[in-house]
Amino acid sequence: MKRLLLLPALLFGTASFAADSNYEISPMLGYNLAEGNIGIKGDDHFLGGLELQRNYKNSKISPEISVLYSPSADYEDGGDTSITRFLFNGVYSFSKNAKMTPFVKAGLGIENVGNEIQKYNETGLVVDAGAGIKVPFTKALALKAEALYLAKVSDAHNKSADNNLIAMVGLTYSFGAEAKKAPKEVVEEKVVAQPELTPVVVVALVEKDSDGDGVYDKLDKCPNTPANSTVSVDGCPISMDDDHDGVSNAKDKCPNTALGTKVDTNGCDIDADKDGVLNVNDICPDTPIGEAVNSDGCPAKVNLQINFGNNSAAILSSSYAELDKYADFLKKYTNYSAKIIGYTDSRGSASYNKKLSLKRARAVMQALVQRGVNPSHLSAIGMGEANPVADNATAEGRAQNRRIEAKLTRN
């Protein structure tokens, strides 16, 4: 496998001595039709991909790296199965015209099939061949469609080779410097004797400023301002600013703002985080834009990204940073209490899910206490599979429904 991973480096590294080239990157979406039995219900599934191609001016064959990923195919024995493929291809493009560019490709790669619940993980060698077209929209952007036939050389899972037909469509974006053309021949010009020039004396004209305010008369809209007056760029006196907020009294719609307050062009207090609560009243002045807040400008509800062990209330170490961040928030704003609410997806019995969600909520509460949060400011509740935020019929929806929320209330 390490030797295979060295292949893209060789493909791109050995070309570094060629003339300047450009690149194409193509995000793709597609569908996999499986002819073999790779242990997945129905075998067919959707996938996403990303292709990076490097082009050379003097070659029609371009090296390409492709990554194809199917995140949640259903495994025959239960659980979600991920399929990851790395393909290293040579792409041959036919002559371009204004309407489309056909191409063919072939190469080899590696495929990894993994299922965490069944403890199944297999990596094998694959070969592939395909064809497609690119239809340009602009000089840099094109529609790309392709069909790819992929054969697995060996399969330890079912002792037979697997064949897959993949159809994909996406967009191609071209970037990078194109190959440079050969420099033009330099033709030496004959030097023609020039007549001697007579120097011309240039006298600078000094602009006039009649009222001495620093603005020339031709730009001065107020040419008779009193001596020592402070003026604007158009030569007119700057009005008084009684509250010293940088906005003159004539334009100040909030003339009595507190000293040092940040104001807008109207002289009024600003709302820096755009949450609808002015800075002067905002206890949490840096909440993310678009987040729902309470009357104090603080998040009304936070969805904590906490990961647990399978069917367990044990918090994984990958969630420690999220806990640290929320603990710091609660320690900073001690006039708030947080209710920790646990949720599950709809799999399993309702009573089991409610108990599991409560255990997880209590585990988060205990982790916050260990990080210095006052325990009297915390409570925990388990809601089980209630109040789903997404469709439990899909893996993505179930993942969103398995969550920990924190709701703030003022003490």
Q: Which amino acid is at 399?
A: A
Single residue among 126, 152, 175 that ends a domain in this structure: 175
Cα–Cα dist 105/147, whole Å = 10
**Do residues 369 and 378 lie in contact, with contact meaning Cβ atoms separated by under 8 Å?**
yes
Task: Output the domain CATH number for residue 141.
Answer: 2.40.160.20
| Number of Cβ within a 10 Å radius of residue 402 | 19
Q: What pLDDT does 225 receive?
A: 83
**Residue 38: which of 122, 94, 105 has the closest Cα?**
122
pLDDT at 15: 35
pLDDT above 60: residue 161? no
Residue carrying the six token digits 């006196």 = 237
Residue 319 domain-assigned (yes or no): yes
pLDDT tens digits, one per residue of 303-316: 788 888 788 889 98
29-33, 34-38, 144-148: least confident range: 34-38
What average pLDDT does this structure show over 292-296? 66
Given a cut of 70, whether residue 300 has pLDDT beyond it is no
Condensed to tens digits (0 to 9), the pLDDT of residues 112-134 reads 887 766 667 788 899 999 999 99
Residue 334, domain CATH: 3.30.1330.60
> Is residue 71 in some structural domain?
yes
Q: Into how many domains does the chain fold?
A: 2
- Domain-embedded: residue 268: no
Q: What is the structure's pLDDT at 78?
A: 55
Instruction: Identify the residue whose tokens are 């793709």.
Output: 28
User: Who wins on pLDDT, 255 or 192?
Assistant: 255
Specify the 3-state DSSP secondary structure of 337: strand
Domain end, chosen from 149, 175, 201, is at 175
pLDDT on residue 208: 87
Instruction: Tell whether 194 is covered by a domain.
Output: no
Residues 167 and 311 in one domain: no
Question: Is 285 within the bounds of a domain?
Answer: no
pLDDT score of 79 more than 80: no
Please report whether residue 292 resides in a domain. no
Q: What is the pLDDT of residue 237?
A: 72
Q: Is residue 342 part of a domain?
A: yes
Which strands make up the sheet holding 336-342, listed edge to edge?
301-304, 404-410, 336-342, 378-382
- Highest mean pLDDT among 87-91, 182-186, 219-223, 332-336 belongs to 87-91
Confirm whether 149 is domain-assigned. yes
Looking at the structure, tell me whether residues 165 and 310 fall in a common domain.
no
Report phi then psi at 277, rounded to 5.
-115, 120
Per mean pLDDT, which range of 145-154, 244-253, 303-312 is the poorest? 244-253
Among 175, 201, 228, give the residue marking a domain's end: 175
Which domain does 393 fall in, by range? Answer: 305-410
DSSP single-letter state for residue 301: E
Average predicted confidence (pLDDT) for the chain: 80
Inform me whether the pLDDT recorded for 68 exceeds 50: yes
Q: Are residues 27 and 170 in the same domain?
A: yes
The residue-averaged pLDDT of 163-174 equals 93
In the predicted structure, residue 2 carries a pLDDT above the cut 70: no
pLDDT for residue 254: 81
- Judge whether residue 173 has pLDDT over 70: yes
If you ran DSSP here, which 8-state letter would residue 361 be given?
H
What does the alpha-carbon distance between residue 67 and residue 85 come to, in Å, rounded to a whole number? Answer: 6
**How much is the pLDDT for 284?**
76
pLDDT of residue 19: 34
Which residues face 240 on adjacent strands? none
Q: Is the pLDDT of residue 150 over 80?
A: yes
Phi, psi of 302, deg, nearest 5: -120, 130
